[in-house]
Amino acid sequence: MKRLLQAVFWLVLYAAAAHATPSTQIWIPSTDVQPYMKWHFGFDQYIKARKIDGTTREPNVINNGVTVGVLPGEKIQAEVGIDQRAYGVEPVDSAPVYFNAKIGMPEDALFKGAPAIALGGYDLGTKKYSADAGWGTDYNVVYGLIARTFGKVGRFSAGYYQGSDKLLLDKNGQKDNTGVLASWDRTISEVSDKLWVAVDYMGGENGYGALSWGAAWKFSPNVGVIFGYDKYNNANYKPTYTIQVDIDL
């Protein structure tokens, strides 16, 4: 297991220097980082909310992955992950493996009142984009985030991302590979400590840009389910319902 963990860690770092999911809100990354040696298993489905022509519905996107904390410290934490994703179309499904990595610091780690900070990358695909083939999976989204909790108001996050200028395109096929990240989330303890809600936004009219909202319920300390809705900034992408099952070990 130790050798496997080391192999995954270095493979992720190599890919980052060369669409997996890190710890997230509904859609965008969060500043949360998996604790050391805690394994997180995610089983996500994205279901198209509308049919293409009134009769045909696009295939569901299915993402199954595992993320693990790899640093033992409390002030500086890191996680790495690997995912298997199916879009239901070829040729992209022939390269279904993606990687992610994140390093971060929790709130108050730098000094009293300091925000949480996270730097990371995800959707580090294994198929390099080829103009001749016309496809690839190296979306290579890198991002930076800060977040701060304001009592019962909740936590606010803000950041910025950049991805492949070959694959992140707008509806006219033009480069659109950067944008803002923003979110609000809160545990609704007035109802139950098991209930959590969030709204997040990812800028850009590429396939990533979206406004998402949803809620999660913790069925046990280590099992939760998120129910959400994603409305994409690019009208060519149909909205999706999302169901995300999260298990921590």
Q: Which residues of the chain have pLDDT under 50?
A: 1-20
Identify the pLDDT of residue 21: 57
Tokens 């239901």 belong to 88
Phi (first) and psi of residue 13, to 5 degrees: -65, -40
Q: Which pLDDT belongs to residue 23?
A: 87
Number of domains in the chain: 1
148 to 63, 106, 153: CA distances (angstroms): 29, 9, 11
Six-digit token string for 60: 């569901």
Q: What's the CATH number where 115 sits?
A: 2.40.160.40
CA angle 16-136-63, nearest 5°? 75
Buried b (16+ CB within 10 A) or exposed e, 141-172: bbbbbbbebeeeebbbbebebbbbebbbbbee
Please say whether the beta carbons of 57 and 215 come within 8 A. Answer: no
| Of 226, 200, 225, residue with least CA distance to 212 | 200
Note down the domain range covering 96: 2-248
Task: Read off φ and ψ for residue 43, nearest 5 degrees.
Answer: -130, 100
pLDDT given at position 208: 97
Rounded-to-integer distance, Cα 112 and Cα 54, Å = 55
- Give pLDDT, residue 50: 80
- C-alpha span between 156 and 201 (Å, rounded): 12
Helix (H) or strand (E) holding 164: none
Q: How far apart are CA 216 and CA 158, in angstroms?
A: 21
How far apart, in whole angstroms, are the C-alpha atoms of residue 203 and residue 210? 7
Tell me which residue of 91, 104, 79, 108 sits closest to 20, measured CA to CA.
Answer: 79
Sign of the torsion angle spanned by Cα atoms 189, 190, 191, 196: negative
- For residue 81, the model assigns a pLDDT of 97
